[in-house]
Amino acid sequence: MPSRLHFGEDDFLRCRFAVSPLWETQDAVRTLKRPERQGYQVPWLRRIRATAATLDLTPLWLLMPRRGHSPDWLSPPPTGPAVTFEEEIAAVRASDPEAARADTAKSLADTPGALESSYGRAWLADPERMVRELADALELAWRTLIAPDWPRLRALLEADVAFHSRRLAEVGLGGLLPEISRRFGWDAGTLTVESRGLHERRLDGRGLVLMPSVFVWPDVVSSFDPPWQSMVVYPARGIGGLWAEPAGRAPDSLVRLLGRGRAAVLTALDEPAGTGALAHRLGLAPSSVSAHLTVLRDAGLLTSRRYGHQVLYERTPLGMALAPGVAPGTGN
């Protein structure tokens, strides 16, 4: 069934991209329960299987019905492009207990037997305890499942945002949305999303949050009722190469020209990335990577721009010419 989001004149001025570590945490938990979502995540699943088995994820799974409502208060739209998990989980912990109770009851009703389960009865009887327990469960899932790989995940998500921001400047919102996903349709100021639920909303000047996700594949999500800002979540570009080993070593000719460290950095920049992500990817000290990036930028091989709290680097045309044959989307 399609969801429809109707844009007014002011909504075009309030559309933004965002990245959410809290959302990735929730959808990683969801992916553990749904084999149809695991196609691109097999290397990650193999690596975290033993650790995940030590977690009790039942409370979170109870609020993730296959068809129906998941509580908006547990994963509110991120407030900015570079929000941290700590900021997001603090907002979850500050949720109004009664509003969270009503939202949770709506979700429990979409899972047979959930309202009568021990969790459901306890949560609805004591919503303050519910907020605390579910926030604790999310924080533990973040630390265990996502935080160790967050530099890699964030690099991929921010590369998606960088790419689609450029496309937005080139083709406008109406041209961009159908490019982002085949499930997005655009006609006369209405975004139609082919999704599992029926959702219709006028944005009323609040705009739309566009958010790439690693773990949402192959689905797209369009939801969030007032008072939340509307958001659509779509699979990020390049997830097919996310868990691949780093690309092969830099060509010998490039090593002789630039030195092994700088050649490795230039070769690894197949998508825009920051110092921390490159250091994690290459197994080098951040200080060494930072020094290499500065030299490459000063030589005209890279360009840099600020995104939120960090600086992203990408190759210039000259840098691309010097590092041929590297497939986009690999090495993340």
195 is in which domain, residue-wise?
A: 2-17+152-240
**pLDDT score, position 308:** 63
pTM above 0.85, yes or no: no
Specify whether 211 is located in the same domain as 107.
no
Residue 162's closest CA among 82, 240, 219?
Answer: 82
Specify whether 93 is located in the same domain as 212.
no
Count up the domains in the chain and report the number.
Answer: 3
Is 332 among the domain residues?
A: no
Domain end among 97, 132, 150:
150
Domain end among 220, 240, 260:
240
List the chain pLDDT tens, one digit each, 332 residues.
678 899 998 998 889 999 999 999 999 999 999 999 898 899 999 999 999 999 999 999 999 998 888 999 998 888 877 899 999 999 999 999 999 999 999 999 999 889 999 999 999 999 999 999 999 999 999 999 999 999 888 878 888 888 888 889 889 988 999 999 888 999 989 999 887 666 788 888 888 999 999 999 988 888 777 788 889 999 998 787 778 665 555 667 788 888 889 999 998 887 788 898 888 888 889 999 999 999 999 888 888 877 666 788 888 867 877 775 443 333 33
Query: Which H/E stretch holds residue 23?
Result: helix 21-33
Residue 302's closest CA among 290, 284, 286, 285?
Answer: 290
Specify whether 287 is located in the same domain as 310.
yes
Count CB-CB contacts under 10 A for residue 140.
Answer: 16
Is 248 among the domain residues?
A: yes
CA–chain centroid gap for 302, Å, is 25
**pLDDT score, position 246:** 53
**pLDDT score, position 318:** 76
Is 184 among the domain residues?
A: yes
Specify whether 157 is located in the same domain as 202.
yes
**pLDDT score, position 245:** 61
Kindly state the tokens that stand for 204.
Answer: 């009323």
Count CB-CB contacts under 10 A for residue 306.
Answer: 9
Specify whether 84 is located in the same domain as 63.
yes
Specify whether 26 is located in the same domain as 79.
yes
